[in-house]
Amino acid sequence: MDHSTAQYVKMTETPVSGLVISLAVPTIISMLVSSIYNMADTYFVSKISTSASGAVGIVFSLMAIIQAVGFTIGMGSGSWISRLLGAHRNDEASGVAASGFYSSIVFGLALTVAGLAIIDPLMHILGATDTILPYARDYARYILYAAPVMAASFVLNNVLRAEGKASFSMIGITVGGLLNCGLDPLFIFTFKMGIGGAAIATALSQLVSFFILLAPFLNGRTIVKLGIRRSARRPDVYLQIFKLGLPSFLRQGLASVSTVALNLNAAVYGDAAVAAMSIVGKIVLFIFSIIIGIGQGYQPVLGYNYGARKFKRVKEAFFFTFKICLAMMGLCGVIGFLTASWLMKLFIARDPEVIRIGAAALRFQCLAMPLVPFGVMCNMTYQAVGKSWTATITSAARQGIFFLPLIMLLPPFFGLLGVQLTQPLADLCTFIFLLPFVLHFFKGIKTEAPAHEFHPDDLQFGGD
- Does a structural domain hold residue 45? yes
- Evaluate the CA torsion angle 376, 382, 384, 387 in order and state its sign: negative
129 is a domain residue: yes
Question: What's the gap between Cα 16 and its chain centre?
Answer: 24
Domain of 33, in residue numbers: 3-458
In a domain, 405, yes or no: yes
Q: For helices 271-307 and 372-384, give the axis angle rounded to 10 degrees.
A: 40
Q: Is the dihedral of CA 412, 413, 418, 422 positive or negative?
A: negative
pLDDT confidence of residue 120: 94
Rounded CA-CA distance 372/398 in Å is 9
Highest mean pLDDT out of 39-48, 151-160, 275-284, 391-400:
151-160
Please report the pLDDT score of residue 447 as a whole number.
Answer: 53
The pLDDT-based confidence of 459 (bands split at 50, 70, 90) is very low
Domain assignment of residue 463, yes or no: no
**Cβ contacts of 405 within 8 Å, gap of 6 or more:** none
Q: Tell me, what's the pLDDT at 247?
A: 80
Question: Given a cut of 70, is residue 214 above it in pLDDT?
Answer: yes
CB 155 within 8 A of CB 73: yes
Asked if the structure places residue 284 within a domain, the reply is yes
Instruction: Give the least confident one: 1-15, 175-189, 300-314.
Output: 1-15
Of residues 222, 261, 251, 273, the one with CA closest to residue 397? 251
Share of the chain above pLDDT 90, in %: 42
φ/ψ of residue 89, rounded to 5: -115, 70
Does residue 307 sit within a domain?
yes
In 3D, which of 326, 424, 442, 310 has the Cα closest to residue 373? 326
pLDDT at 452 over 50: no
Q: Say what the pLDDT of residue 339 is.
A: 93
Spatial separation of the C-alpha atoms in residues 122 and 259, rounded to whole Å = 14
Q: How many domains does the chain have?
A: 1
User: 338: pLDDT confidence band, cut at 50, 70 and 90?
Assistant: very high
Sequence-separated (6 or more) residues with CB below 8 Å from residue 215 = none
Higher pLDDT, 53 or 202: 202
Cα distances from 64 to residues 178, 290, 397, in angstroms, run 21, 18, 17
Do the domain assignments include residue 175?
A: yes
Measured CA distances, 85 to 162, 304, 353, 444 (Å): 9, 7, 53, 24
- Encode pLDDT of 237-261 as tens digits: 999 999 888 887 887 778 778 888 8
Please tell me whether the overall predicted TM-score, pTM, comes out greater than 0.75 for this model: no
In a domain, 464, yes or no: no
